[in-house]
Structure 1
Amino acid sequence: MNKALLVIDYSYDFVAPDGKLTAGEPAMAIEGNIAGKIDEAVQDDAFVFFMMDQHFEGDTHHPEYKLFPPHNIDGTPGRELYGEVSAKYEEIKSQENVFFLDKTRYSAFCGTRLHQLLQERRVDTVVLTGVVTDICIMHTAMDAYNLGYDIIVPESCVASFNPEAHEVALAHFKNTLGAVVDP
């Protein structure tokens, strides 16, 4: 098994209490768990991908424009990695097995080089962490499944602003995508 850890959208806007589209307390509660997964991945010489939602000021053509308030605007503090996860990234960002990729859709695969980079490195398993469980984590998991990756979702490393949708997503990962959902 060749794993890659994906840290998805763990930004100020998605996590901080005053973030533009925050998951709030549930997102803040997983901070240490994600940092721990980053440490484990680094110790195991696994690949670590920080996948960050990117939007642009005044872009009224993006599909999310009608659904959500402006968030993760390029060049703003809201788009920066949050807290301990930011500190971990700063520690390891120069390592050869660490990547930071922008994404403009829910899925970390859509419109990015993620699949290509994973294939080149013979990765067969993705470990999904971050926010929001029932949106970006869900869409990334579905694309990972359709591309043939094994999927692991540590329940203690994903969060949502919608507790019911969070639980539905976890069940979907396990029962429909065959993912390993572990504590």
Structure 2
Amino acid sequence: MRALIVIDYTFDFIADTGRLTCGKPGQDIEERIVQLIEEFADKDYVVVANDVHDAGDTYHPETTLFPPHNIRGTDGRELYGAVKTAASRADHWIDKTRYSAFAGTDLDLRLRERAITEIHLVGVCTDICVLHTAVDAYNLGYTIVVHADAVQSFNSVGHAWALEHFVTTLGATVTGK
């Protein structure tokens, strides 16, 4: 069995007015993510993993790296566009407080309970949260597939580097180039 993990496709990361936005490149992958959710929802496992932060948390390591984003209880945490509707078919939702969808969550347990060995990654940012999720998946022994036509970043150089890194260092399959 396979799992699709939709990472951080939220208003703050995608909308033009988002607090840490990928902008148009992120918006351009919306339709492909919706297609993949629909494909996986029929026979596989779909996980939505969303970044969450608390307003005024000065102890979180991202506080010094990025502007406040995906603050609990704000519209910035809402899924963006048609992905919000499609994600109603998700099997599991995760609030994540670190880059990786595995860090401090029950994701590994949920996947192993269902004998899932292959994970498919989509969302943002390719070189941050998608990458760190892939690294943890690699270390946990999962087969990794990254959909290049369904990931994006606000850093085009980092995006390209991460797509290469998935293949050359993590042994992942990158499709949709």
Tell me the TM-score normalised to structure 2 length: 0.98
Query: 1 CA distance for matches of 2:87 and 2:154?
Result: 24
Aligned residue runs from structure 1 range 17-166, under 5 A: 17-43=16-42, 45-90=43-88, 92-93=89-90, 98-166=91-159
Query: 2 CA distance for matches of 1:142 and 1:101?
Result: 18
Query: 1 CA distance for matches of 2:102 and 2:25?
Result: 25
Q: Report the alpha carbon displacement of residue 89 of structure 1 after superposing the two structures with TM.
A: 1.7
Query: 2 CA distance for matches of 1:38 and 1:110?
Result: 23
Query: 1 CA distance for matches of 2:41 and 2:77?
Result: 24
Percent identity over paired residues: 52
Amino acid at match of 1:5: L
Gaps of 5+ in 1: none
Q: Report the alpha carbon displacement of residue 9 of structure 1 after superposing the two structures with TM.
A: 0.3
Amino acid at match of 1:129: V
Gaps of 5+ in 2: none
Query: 2 CA distance for matches of 1:28 and 1:17?
Result: 9
> What RMSD over aligned residues (CA atoms) do the two structures have, in Å?
0.7
Query: 2 CA distance for matches of 1:166 and 1:120?
Result: 32
1:5 has 2:7 as partner: no
Query: 1 CA distance for matches of 2:38 and 2:114?
Result: 20
Q: Report the alpha carbon displacement of residue 118 of structure 1 after superposing the two structures with TM.
A: 0.4
